[in-house]
Amino acid sequence: MTLVDSNVLIDILGADPKWAAASVRSLALCAARGPIGVNDVIYAELAAGFESRGALDFELDGLGLVIFRLSKDSLFLAGQAFRRYRAAGGTRPNVLADFFIGAQASAEGWPILTRDARMYRTYFPNIEVLAVAE
C-alpha cells in the first residue's frame, strides 16, 4: 500500500505542465509495487476541485486509488507532530492536513508518494518517502 499525497494527484488531474508527467510516472511505479490510495484528508483536499462527488470518485477509480480511513492512532500521531511543529516555531496554520497524511503513513507503515518530501522526512522520519522528481 502506498499513500498518494494530494499534490501528486492535483498535478495529474490538473495536467500541470511542469509536474504532470513526472507524477504520472511515479504513480505508475507505485501502482506496480502494490495498492495505491488516499485517505479522508486527501479526498477532501481533492474535492475542492470538483463539482460533484461522482466526478471525483470517477477520477480516483480511473487511477486505481482506494480510500483508507484514518485510525485513532493516526489522528493522535498527527496532533503530536503538529504540536512539535508549533513548538519548533512553525507558524503556518494550514499544515495540519499534511500531518494527518504523514501520521497515517507512519502509523500504518506505508510509504508516501509526494512532492513535499522534506516535511514528511522531518516530522515522520520512520516512513519511506517516495519523492516525485522532475
Residue 57 belongs to what domain range?
2-131
* 114 pLDDT above the threshold of 80: yes
In angstroms, the CA 123 to CA 73 distance is 16
Compute the mean pLDDT over every residue in the chain, rounded to the nearest whole number. Answer: 93
% of the chain surpassing 90 pLDDT: 81
In angstroms, the CA 37 to CA 30 distance is 10
Query: How many domains are there within the chain?
Result: 1
**CATH code for position 99:** 3.40.50.1010
In angstroms, the CA 48 to CA 70 distance is 20
| Residue labelled with grid coordinates 480511473 | 62
Instruction: Please check whether residue 68 is in contact with residue 100, taking contact to mean a CB–CB distance below 8 angstroms.
Output: no
pLDDT in tens, 56-98: 999 999 999 999 999 999 999 998 988 888 899 887 766 788 9
Give me 53's grid cell: 462527488
Q: What is the pLDDT of residue 96?
A: 80
In angstroms, the CA 73 to CA 28 distance is 29
* 134 pLDDT above the threshold of 70: no
